[in-house]
Structure 1
Amino acid sequence: MALIDCNFYSDILGIDTTVKVILPERSQTKIGALGSLKKEKYPTLYLLHGLSDDHTAWTRKTSIERYVDGKGLAVVMPDVGRSFYTDMKFGGNYWTFISEELPKKCREFFPLSEKREDNFVAGLSMGGYGAFKLALNCPEKFKAAASLSGALDLLGEAKNSSIDGMMEEMKTIFGSVGEIEKSINDLFYVAKKLSNSNTETPYLYQWCGTEDFLHNGNLNFKKFIEEETRIKLSYSESHGDHKWCYWDEQIQKVIKDFGF
């Protein structure tokens, strides 16, 4: 596999930024590696980081490069700071960046497929929210999405002030709590709206640890999707809290579940 740090200028953000990319590599002599057959354009997994992480987190804290070895799957890991993948009230337009500019830029730089059936997104915590936000708002772009310990019931968390110490920061990102409701940042609203349309819906994979502080929000989202929408959801939970040892295990299951 080729591991690339790609530094480029974002017109949307108005700053230089970095994305870490894993690309399949054909090799017959690399010890301990499988190698991949060359394709004209590779299917792609956009892998999103959590609130306190950056674009290096997945490669530093999991063996993601090894997990995709031999599968012909490219992995794109962007940096969005603490933006919640949102066009911030006071800050950068990270939603426009992640949903529009980043895929376009990466396809200019690398041989990545534009086809819906070849594009997937996954993430942990804030990134789990971002993954479902992308898939539900842009169902024409993504075949499937995975959320691991995702902050999915964002409106509920904000109303209950259960994200400890974050209320002022949430206002900086989203504005008032009322501005989240019935917007593209409200996953419940977006999922219901999508389900009521004639658009093909993405497949969703959801996992959360039973000791995780976001577990109740995950249960709320699961119940809503199963009872109020036609979206296909695979939900699982197991012992665990908000730690990398569980996400490292789960991302391997996600890759297999996505068909790789």
Structure 2
Amino acid sequence: MAKLVCNFISYALKRTVDITVVLPSVTIPEAMQLPMPGKENPVPPTHEVKEKYPVLYLLHGMGNNHAQWTGYTNVEMFAEERNMAVVMISGENKFYHDSLDGEPFFDFVAKEVPEFVTNYFPISAEPEHSYIAGLSMGGYGALLHGLSNPERFAAIGSFSGAVMPVGDPEKVEGLIDGPLDVKWLVKKAIADGKKIPPLYVTCGEEDMLYEINTEFKDYLKENGVDVTWVSVPGYTHEWRFWNLAVEKFLKWIPRTDGYVSAGTRQI
């Protein structure tokens, strides 16, 4: 797996930003089977990509940044096994939507990052090969972006997602029954005749957000949304669970790209 930390100037945010991109590459077992370049092998091994890679946009939780996914999980290995690219974005505790000072963070996530990675790397821009998922705050962010633009993704994943506002009603005013409310976005997509992609919603049974996730799962089913619900005993709001969740999600996603037939690679 090739791992790149990209620092670039965002035209949306008017400042430098960091993202992590991981791309499948030649593995050690594969390299050991390839012939050495030389006179006896005039056609050397190559890093040429046969087609653009399907991509998972992966969003972290509150207090973290793009680097935590590769620091605390095996997402690089899971993605390489399945020939997928992963793009990890820093959410800056902004829940992946525009900040109160007017900074267009939603467009940065929804438009600029995909434009950047699909122009600079062999990453597919096709909706049928694009997926979005996240944990906690990032689970909310994945639902926010996936349900706001359901035509852009083939699947959405929420792991221990902060799917509904909780606490003092005055503090959550404006987050309910509007474009920042994931339930409202489900209703709007249905009313607009848009096809909502399959959802994968999972939570540890000891998690403080378990109840609101079960309520959200029930809401999705009541509205006819295709949702896979995975309830896991023995886990709370923790990286051990999210490591398990991202592996299961990558195995679950409904892929149609040309790499599927290759099966699971040996790493």
TM category (shorter chain) comes to 0.7 to 0.9
Whole-angstrom distance in 2 between the partners of 1:242 and 1:181: 24
Match of 1:178, SS state, is: coil
Counterpart for residue 257 of structure 2 = none
Q: CA deviation at 1:112?
A: 1.3
Counterpart for residue 124 of structure 1 = 135
> Relative to structure 2, which stretch is displaced further, 122-131 or 82-91?
82-91
C-alpha contact (below 8 Å) 1:195/1:231 kept by paired residues: no
C-alpha contact (below 8 Å) 2:159/2:202 kept by paired residues: yes
Q: TM-score normalized by structure 2?
A: 0.84
Distance change >3 Å, CA 223–CA 40, structure 1 → 2: same
Counterpart for residue 39 of structure 2 = none
Counterpart for residue 10 of structure 2 = 10
Which of 230, 247, 262 is the equivalent residue of 1:252? 247
Whole-angstrom distance in 2 between the partners of 1:196 and 1:220: 21
Q: TM-score normalized by structure 1?
A: 0.86
Counterpart for residue 206 of structure 2 = 211
Code of the residue aligned with 2:227 in structure 1: it is L
Distance change >3 Å, CA 41–CA 59, structure 1 → 2: same
Whole-angstrom distance in 1 between the partners of 2:229 and 2:216: 10
Whole-angstrom distance in 2 between the partners of 1:70 and 1:223: 33
Counterpart for residue 19 of structure 1 = 19
Whole-angstrom distance in 2 between the partners of 1:64 and 1:30: 24
Whole-angstrom distance in 1 between the partners of 2:131 and 2:97: 19
Which of 144, 148, 164 is the equivalent residue of 1:137? 148
Q: Deviations over 1:75-116 (max 9, x none)?
A: 000112100001011363211110111111111211211111
C-alpha contact (below 8 Å) 1:41/1:113 kept by paired residues: yes
Code of the residue aligned with 2:230 in structure 1: it is S
C-alpha contact (below 8 Å) 1:37/1:72 kept by paired residues: no
C-alpha contact (below 8 Å) 2:49/2:122 kept by paired residues: no
Match of 1:241, SS state, is: coil
Whole-angstrom distance in 2 between the partners of 1:219 and 1:87: 27
Whole-angstrom distance in 2 between the partners of 1:185 and 1:83: 12
Code of the residue aligned with 1:254 in structure 2: it is F
Match of 1:53, SS state, is: coil
Match of 1:234, SS state, is: strand
Q: CA deviation at 1:49?
A: 0.5
Whole-angstrom distance in 2 between the partners of 1:207 and 1:19: 25
Matched, 1:115 2:120: no
C-alpha contact (below 8 Å) 1:22/1:75 kept by paired residues: yes
Matched, 1:77 2:74: no
User: Which structure 2 segments of 5+ residues have no match?
Assistant: 34-46, 255-259, 261-267
Where do 4+ consecutive residues of structure 1 move more than 6 Å? none
State the number of aligned residues: 239
Match of 2:152, SS state, is: coil
C-alpha contact (below 8 Å) 1:195/1:230 kept by paired residues: no
Whole-angstrom distance in 2 between the partners of 1:44 and 1:221: 26
C-alpha contact (below 8 Å) 1:26/1:38 kept by paired residues: no
Match of 1:17, SS state, is: strand
Code of the residue aligned with 2:176 in structure 1: it is E
Q: Deviations over 1:1-20 (max 9, x none)?
A: 10001110011111100110
